[in-house]
Structure 1
Amino acid sequence: MLALEVKGLTAGYGPVTVLHGVDFSAGPGRITCLMGRNGVGKSTFLKCLMGLVPASGGTITLNGTTLQNLPAHEVPRHGLAYVPQGRRLFGPLTVAENLAVGGLVRGNDLATLDHVLTLFPRLRERLAQTAQTLSGGEQQMLAIARALCLQPKVLLLDEPTEGLQPSMITLIQQAILTLKGQGVAVVLVEQRVDAVLKLADRVAFMAAGRVAETREIKGMAADDPVFRTYVGV
């Protein structure tokens, strides 16, 4: 059963159209990676799914519920959570306060909070620490944890390991695989081929504002020509 299904999605900024009829799907317990060169619309696509960029055409359906006409603040209630590139935390607030903001939609359920802190035990040790004093990797953990307080069916991650040290990348990748095992549909924007081969079940390659090709990861290798076609410089 598909958790998320997108058909013919068109969107942009003012007179500039960025997405030209995107077709895409993501299923529970699977990681779908979005790949493509800079400027092809990957981040705009995630923002459009969340209602942050209005859709001018097409449909977004999550478990049978149509989302494309909802205001942005209503979208998370239906099970879609987003971790943007650059994290966008509330820097002066503590770890606990950032998580509480994330949990507002679900009434700050204590069991959900405990589940999130079990996934990221380092955050449990830093609940009273302000977000702006965390390391880059810890901030990324907090951004993901805050999104998970929504109890999402689909988690959208925009380059979550960009600029992090290898040990932190490993911890975050392990958390993503754990979420997959728990039945969450993960949509991951990722540019590094080694990470995609390690994490993905499927890869959707974007070009010129469309999903040009979707491939199952099984049987793919780092030297597969498709990576050079859609990601290589």
Structure 2
Amino acid sequence: MALEVKGLTAGYGPVTVLRGVDFEARAGQVTCLMGRNGAGKTTLLKAIMGLVELAEGSVRLGGVDLQGLPAHRIPCHGLAWVPQGRRLFGPLTVAENLEVGGLTRGNRAEVREHVLTLFPRLRERLAQPAATLSGGEQQMLAIGRALCLEPKVLLLDEPTEGLQPSMIALIRDAVLRLRAEGVAVVLVEQRVEAVLKMADRVAFMAHGRVEEMVEARRLEPGARQFLDYVGV
């Protein structure tokens, strides 16, 4: 099942951020969005989730048109989003955060077990308030909570930002396992090394458009695209 974005134009009030974006994320693949600050990466994820009103274009998942649906209904169609900053319920325990994430799907025990298998560290901290977790553990919980929706497409916005290498490796392994399970993962990431270890395809964004889509296997750490679009 593919997520298809066609001719998407959107922004905030009079400010247009996205200008005719065409983009596709395929099942069982990791598609990375890269670009300088202000290129429109986060706005694209928000527009897909119905949090930014579309001026033009369409968002479809498996042939179902998501345009115009209330934002709270879009996850029911198989989309989940982990924003920057994680936005956990800090006073709630790990178990309670996962329960909130599973409300839409009825909190099935096997789904929670899958999350805890993916992130064993969370099992050890089920009774611990989310606010007391380390940054890496909070990121695991944010992803785990999103996975309780049983998404077909998972949107991750800078999941490795501010994390130590060992935690980045754990997040990377989880993403690759989700890919193997057939989930379409859309990843906003600025770390070139992380991108090359996870991505199947890289979409380079500039000025509110996807300017270039490249198979990740064709890229090297010093590839021209990284210099042109990311400035590394």
How far apart, CA to CA, are the structure 1 residues paired with 2:10 and 2:77?
Answer: 21
How far apart, CA to CA, are the structure 2 residues paired with 1:68 and 1:92?
Answer: 34
Shift of 1:228: 0.5
Residues 90-142 of structure 1: CA deviation (Å, up to 9, x unaligned):
00001011001100010001110101110001101111100000000000000
TM-score (norm 2): 0.99
Pairing 1:98–2:97 present: yes
Aligned residue number for residue 203 of structure 2: 204
User: Matched residue of 2:196: which SS?
Assistant: helix
How far apart, CA to CA, are the structure 2 residues paired with 1:165 and 1:54?
Answer: 36
Aligned residue number for residue 16 of structure 1: 15
Aligned residue number for residue 85 of structure 2: 86
Aligned residue number for residue 32 of structure 2: 33
User: Matched residue of 1:89: which SS?
Assistant: coil
Aligned residue number for residue 169 of structure 1: 168
Pairing 1:42–2:54 present: no
Shift of 1:55: 1.1
Identity among equivalent positions (%) equals 72
Pairing 1:119–2:91 present: no
Residue 192 of structure 2 aligns with an amino acid whose one-letter code is V
How far apart, CA to CA, are the structure 2 residues paired with 1:108 and 1:180?
Answer: 23
TM-score (norm 1): 0.98
Residue 2 of structure 2 aligns with an amino acid whose one-letter code is A
How far apart, CA to CA, are the structure 2 residues paired with 1:86 and 1:4?
Answer: 24
Residues 122-166 of structure 1: CA deviation (Å, up to 9, x unaligned):
101111100000000000000000000000000000000100011
- The runs of 5 or more residues in structure 2 that have no matched partner are none
User: Matched residue of 2:217: which SS?
Assistant: coil
Residue 214 of structure 1 aligns with an amino acid whose one-letter code is M
Shift of 1:211: 0.3
Root-mean-square deviation (CA, aligned residues, Å) is 0.7
How far apart, CA to CA, are the structure 2 residues paired with 1:81 and 1:35?
Answer: 20
User: Matched residue of 1:160: which SS?
Assistant: coil
Residues 65-85 of structure 1: CA deviation (Å, up to 9, x unaligned):
111210100000000000001
How far apart, CA to CA, are the structure 2 residues paired with 1:97 and 1:179?
Answer: 23
Residues 37-76 of structure 1: CA deviation (Å, up to 9, x unaligned):
0001100000110011111110000011111210100000
Aligned residue number for residue 131 of structure 1: 130
Aligned residue number for residue 146 of structure 2: 147
How far apart, CA to CA, are the structure 2 residues paired with 1:3 and 1:112?
Answer: 22
How far apart, CA to CA, are the structure 2 residues paired with 1:104 and 1:52?
Answer: 20
- The runs of 5 or more residues in structure 1 that have no matched partner are none
> What is the correspondence of 1:186-225 to structure 2 with a 5 Å cutoff?
186-225=185-224
Shift of 1:219: 2.3
Aligned residue number for residue 62 of structure 1: 61
Shift of 1:191: 0.5
Runs of 4+ in 1 over 2 A off after TM superposition: none
User: Matched residue of 2:218: which SS?
Assistant: coil
